[in-house]
């Protein structure tokens, strides 16, 4: 499996965009701001700061209106203050301020340095900002045109290290999987074709999804927000994206972007079809990107599939085009359709049998299927001892045989998650009793009663 990689081009998605400008190719001058192959240096695939207004890909009127909305928040502000909030270089923000001053939207109060002045917004500027707020209430960093986002995502995927056998072994090291299962999971991540995981609950389907995210090496740059003509879509989400600090002060980097870990975003039974489209925020008069778009460059996992409050066939039909074309279609309030890249690993996990929730046509499009069964007795031993070692708890002689005998006596199926759960409850008991960090039969029995309730269950298939 050396060198497995899927780097499909999204050029078609750019060149075939509708005339609304949703995905128009950037002018040559704009491409200089991206981490393109001919532009590689010690910054790697980091987005380059624009040197002129034109390289932002935004109309100067858009930038001026955003600057006024921000200035309207303060009694007085400086060029540097506005620079930090717009995410643009000081030189460009200085040019914006001079234009706004010329239009009598702001007035100079003092000069702090050649490129840093203290300003106050005028009444004319406040009136203009008020009218702008009627259109959009967005007050974050300057947005990135969707065409630049597509090109940047493509560049990052092209320079992402290919998945190797060594990477797979490291990512899956914490799991007890057969060689065949590990290979199927690795192929799904390397190809990006999608993975349908099924089997009894509690055996590591979610853990597998998190592990496969680690196969997608390297950081990811995402924009704070996207611009589609005059509409703004908020993209970065602190609840879903884990930031990687360290380049905030580098003037060569476009600060409209933020560096994150490749995302792992999971949704479950609460998901609806509406959650898979743009969400308009009436109070802000802008849009929020759906979770699977925020997962671009990483993993999007639908857990507990078949339990959603929507017909499973409708849900499956929603994914057919993205899986086949590697693009998705989202809808603005105006009815305008925009094309969004679908560059992620889609994992669908279910405790139900595949035939109950999916038809063969959809399963073919998923690319790979993997059944994760209950562990064997030997695998259960391995999981238990490995987790005990990781938590630095000593296992008394015979305690594992004692636990396995309780499973057999109560006719319980073994579950891959239960060694962790029993050990963690044992540690709760040890801490409460201030006892040595040692798991014996008495502590195991107390943990068992607390976890299972002492009630026998029939074995599950």
For the cut 70, the answer to whether the pLDDT of residue 165 exceeds it is: yes
- Examine the domain organization and report whether 196 and 130 are in the same domain: no
Positive or negative: CA dihedral 380, 385, 388, 393? positive
pLDDT tens for 241-253 read 999 987 877 889 9
Enumerate residues 6+ apart whose C-beta is below 8 A from 78: 112, 116, 117, 118, 119
**Residue 428 in 3-state DSSP?**
helix
Is the residue at 4 inside a domain?
no
Is the residue at 70 inside a domain?
yes
Q: How many residues does the chain have?
A: 461
- Examine the domain organization and report whether 259 and 362 are in the same domain: yes
Range of lowest pLDDT (55-59, 301-305, 431-435, 454-458): 454-458
- Examine the domain organization and report whether 172 and 302 are in the same domain: yes
Q: Residue 398 sits in which domain range?
A: 377-452
Is the residue at 21 inside a domain?
no
Q: Which long-range contacts (CB under 8 A, 24 or more apart) does 270-277 make?
A: 270/308, 270/309, 271/302, 271/308, 271/310, 271/315, 272/308, 272/309, 272/310, 273/310, 273/314, 273/315, 273/318, 276/318, 277/330, 277/331
pLDDT tens for 306-335 read 887 788 888 888 888 898 899 999 999 999
> Which of 141, 172, 189 is the C-terminal boundary of a domain?
141
- Examine the domain organization and report whether 230 and 119 are in the same domain: no
How do strand 77-78 and strand 116-121 relate by DSSP bridges? antiparallel
Positive or negative: CA dihedral 34, 39, 45, 46? negative
- Examine the domain organization and report whether 363 and 388 are in the same domain: no
Is the residue at 20 inside a domain?
no
- For residue 275, what is the domain's CATH number? 3.40.50.300
Q: What is the mean pLDDT of residues 70-77?
A: 95
- Examine the domain organization and report whether 292 and 404 are in the same domain: no
Q: Between helices 441-452 and 399-409, what is the axis angle to 10°?
A: 40
> Which of 95, 111, 141 is the C-terminal boundary of a domain?
141
- For residue 120, what is the domain's CATH number? 1.10.10.10
**345 with 160: CB under 8 angstroms?**
no
- Examine the domain organization and report whether 360 and 211 are in the same domain: yes
Beta strands in 130-219 (DSSP E): 144-145, 195-198
Report the pLDDT value the prediction gives residue 20, as an integer from 0 to 100. 33
d(CA 198, CA 201): 9
- Going by pLDDT thresholds of 50, 70 and 90, the confidence category of residue 39 is very low
Q: How far is CA 145 from CA 62, 85, 233, 284, 455, in A?
A: 12, 18, 10, 19, 59
Is the residue at 36 inside a domain?
no
- Going by pLDDT thresholds of 50, 70 and 90, the confidence category of residue 213 is confident
Q: 422: which 2 tokens?
A: 């029993």
Positive or negative: CA dihedral 173, 177, 180, 185? negative
Domain count, the chain: 3
Identify the CA nearest to 439 among candidates 373, 407, 370, 392.
Answer: 392
pLDDT tens for 178-212 read 889 999 999 999 888 899 999 998 998 888 988 89
- Examine the domain organization and report whether 365 and 417 are in the same domain: no
Is the residue at 305 inside a domain?
yes
Phi-psi region of 192 (alpha: psi -120 to 50; beta: other; left: phi over 0): left
Is the residue at 9 inside a domain?
no
Q: Which pTM value belongs to this model?
A: 0.83
Neighbours of 333 (CB within 10 A): 10
> Which of 371, 400, 418 is the C-terminal boundary of a domain?
371
**179 with 168: CB under 8 angstroms?**
no
Is the residue at 250 inside a domain?
yes
For the cut 70, the answer to whether the pLDDT of residue 41 exceeds it is: no
In this prediction, what percent of the chain has a pLDDT beyond 90? 65
Burial classification of residue 124, based on how many CB atoms lie within 10 Å of its CB (0-12 exposed, 13-18 middle, 19 or more buried): middle
**46 with 259: CB under 8 angstroms?**
yes
- Examine the domain organization and report whether 400 and 365 are in the same domain: no
């Amino acid at each position: 499996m050396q060198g497995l990689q899927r780097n499909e081009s999204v050029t078609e998605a750019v060149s075939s965009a509708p005339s609304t400008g949703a995905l128009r190719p950037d002018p040559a001058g704009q491409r200089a701001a991206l981490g393109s192959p001919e532009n590689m240096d010690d910054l790697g695939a980091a987005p380059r700061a624009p040197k002129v207004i034109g390289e932002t890909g935004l109309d100067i009127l858009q930038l001026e209106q955003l600057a006024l909305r921000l200035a309207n928040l303060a009694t007085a502000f400086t060029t540097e203050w506005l620079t930090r909030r717009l995410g643009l270089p000081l030189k460009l923000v200085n040019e914006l301020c001079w234009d706004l001053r010329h239009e009598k939207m702001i007035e100079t109060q003092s000069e702090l340095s050649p490129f840093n002045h203290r300003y106050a917004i005028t009444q004319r500027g406040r009136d203009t900002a008020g009218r702008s707020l009627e259109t959009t209430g967005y007050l974050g960093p300057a947005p990135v045109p969707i065409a630049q986002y597509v090109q940047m995502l493509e560049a990052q995927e092209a320079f992402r290290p290919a998945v190797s056998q060594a990477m797979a072994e490291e990512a899956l090291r914490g799991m007890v999987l057969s060689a065949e299962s590990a290979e199927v999971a690795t192929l799904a991540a390397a190809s990006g074709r999608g993975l349908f995981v099924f089997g009894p609950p509690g055996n590591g389907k979610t853990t597998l999804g998190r592990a496969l995210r680690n196969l997608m090496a390297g950081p990811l740059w995402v924009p704070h927000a996207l611009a589609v003509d005059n509409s703004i879509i908020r993209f970065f989400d602190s609840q879903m994206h884990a930031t990687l600090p360290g380049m905030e002060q580098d003037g060569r980097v476009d600060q409209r972007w933020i560096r994150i870990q490749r995302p792992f975003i999971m949704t479950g039974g609460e998901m609806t079809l509406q959650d898979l489209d743009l969400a308009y925020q009436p109070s802000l008069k802008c849009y929020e990107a759906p979770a699977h778009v925020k997962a671009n460059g990483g993993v999007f996992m639908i857990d507990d599939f078949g339990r959603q409050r929507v017909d499973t066939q409708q849900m499956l039909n929603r994914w057919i085009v993205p899986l086949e074309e590697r693009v998705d279609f989202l809808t603005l309030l105006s009815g305008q359709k925009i094309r969004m890249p679908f560059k992620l690993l889609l994992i669908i996990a279910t405790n139900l049998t595949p035939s109950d929730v999916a038809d063969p046509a959809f399963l073919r499009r998923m690319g790979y299927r993997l059944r994760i069964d209950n562990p064997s007795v030997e695998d259960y031993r391995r999981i238990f001892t490995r987790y005990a070692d990781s938590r630095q708890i000593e296992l008394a002689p015979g305690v594992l045989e004692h636990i396995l005998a309780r499973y057999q006596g109560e006719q319980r199926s073994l579950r891959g998650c239960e060694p962790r759960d029993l050990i963690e409850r044992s540690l709760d008991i040890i801490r409460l009793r201030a006892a040595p960090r040692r798991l014996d039969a008495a502590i195991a029995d107390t943990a068992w009663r607390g976890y299972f309730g002492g009630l026998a269950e029939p074995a599950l298939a």
